[in-house]
């Protein structure tokens, strides 16, 4: 359905994009990352349900990107109206600015993939969330009329990051260009994941620092 509403341009894995975006982590952050990783190493993650993995593996990593104006959130409502369709639902997770206690400008949206009989391709849900977050988040709109939003989807403790660039968002057929990262396993590459989360937040705040954030959700 999304393909019928949006012009989708997928560029696959673009390794240089993510290498340039990764931020260094501090010794204190490294210690927190190692504590999270140690909890996962000997766990049978394939047997754990999504809620358990979210609480032990995903949300603690998102919290590493928090600071005095940025917070990790779970179950964030999002509604966005386009010219020919509307996107509405709950985002599994988000990193967003939080000046008043609630989620405001989103910097990253997160999809936790379902497993078993409920399993579906998490990419399409993430693409829809990227579009909706772009429309809701005026702080990401650039001078050329495009908008950029980052997201990721997780399968167990494996993370895949996505950069979405939207154009003609107010037109009849928005354009969404997608660049993906390779897969990162949290048990072996938790520091790289933490660096990417920090880098995404830093880049988003830099581009939006002069614009007052709209309410998100």
pLDDT of residue 212: 45
Q: How confident is the model at residue 41 (pLDDT cuts 50, 70, 90)?
A: confident
pLDDT of residue 187: 93
Q: List C-alpha distances in Å: 147 to 51, 107, 141, 172.
A: 32, 12, 4, 16
Q: Provide the number of structural domains found in the chain.
A: 1
Q: What is the mean pLDDT of the chain?
A: 87
| 214 within a domain of the structure (yes/no) | no
pLDDT of residue 15: 93
pLDDT of residue 116: 56
| 117 within a domain of the structure (yes/no) | yes
User: Phi/psi of residue 86, each to 5°?
Assistant: -135, 140
pLDDT of residue 44: 86
Q: How many helices (H) and strands (E) does the chain have?
A: 7, 7
Q: Is the pLDDT of residue 61 over 90?
A: yes
Least confident piece of the model among 46-50, 76-80, 136-140: 136-140
pLDDT of residue 138: 55
Between CA 57 and CA 190 the distance in angstroms is 10
| 64 within a domain of the structure (yes/no) | yes
Higher-confidence residue of 100 and 17: namely: 17
pLDDT tens digits for range 114-127 = 765 555 789 999 99
| 194 within a domain of the structure (yes/no) | yes
Q: Do residues 193 and 210 lie in contact, with contact meaning Cβ atoms separated by under 8 Å? A: no
Q: How confident is the model at residue 211 (pLDDT cuts 50, 70, 90)?
A: very low
| 15 within a domain of the structure (yes/no) | yes
**Segment 173-198 mean pLDDT:** 96
| 216 within a domain of the structure (yes/no) | no
pLDDT of residue 136: 77
**Segment 73-87 mean pLDDT:** 91
Q: List C-alpha distances in Å: 76 to 10, 90, 91, 180, 209.
A: 26, 5, 5, 23, 23
Buried b (16+ CB within 10 A) or exposed e, 62-74: bebbeeeebbbbb
| 199 within a domain of the structure (yes/no) | yes
**Segment 75-83 mean pLDDT:** 90
| 203 within a domain of the structure (yes/no) | yes
The side-by-side arrangement of strands in the sheet containing 106-112 is 7-13, 175-185, 158-167, 147-155, 106-112, 86-97, 70-81
pLDDT tens digits for range 133-184 = 998 765 445 556 689 999 999 999 999 999 999 999 888 999 999 999 999 9
**Segment 52-67 mean pLDDT:** 93
Q: Is the pLDDT of residue 29 over 60?
A: yes
Between CA 145 and CA 40 the distance in angstroms is 43
pLDDT of residue 213: 44
Domain of residue 84: give its range: 2-208
For 141, which DSSP code?
B
pLDDT of residue 141: 54
Least confident piece of the model among 76-85, 88-97, 139-148, 163-172: 139-148
């Amino acid at each position: 359905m999304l393909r019928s509403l949006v012009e989708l341009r997928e560029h696959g894995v673009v390794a240089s994009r993510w290498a340039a975006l990764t931020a260094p982590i501090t010794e204190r952050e490294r210690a927190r990352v190692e504590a999270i990783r140690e909890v996962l190493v000997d766990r049978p993650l394939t047997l754990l349900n999504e809620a358990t993995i979210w609480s032990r593996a995903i949300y603690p990593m998102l919290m590493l990107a928090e600071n005095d104006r940025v917070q990790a959130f779970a179950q964030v409502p999002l509604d966005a109206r386009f010219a020919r369709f509307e996107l509405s639902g709950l985002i599994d997770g988000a990193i967003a600015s939080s000046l008043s206690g609630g989620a405001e400008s989103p910097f990253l949206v997160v999809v936790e993939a379902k497993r078993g009989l409920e399993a579906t391709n998490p990419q399409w849900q993430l693409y829809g969330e990227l579009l909706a977050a772009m429309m809701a988040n005026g702080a990401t709109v650039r001078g050329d009329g495009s908008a950029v939003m980052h997201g990721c989807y997780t399968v167990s403790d494996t993370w895949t990051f996505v950069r979405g660039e939207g154009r003609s968002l107010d037109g009849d057929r928005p354009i969404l260009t997608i660049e993906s990262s390779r897969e990162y396993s949290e048990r072996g590459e938790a520091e790289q994941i933490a660096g990417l989360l920090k880098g995404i937040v830093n880049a988003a705040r830099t581009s939006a620092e002069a614009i007052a954030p709209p309410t998100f959700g």
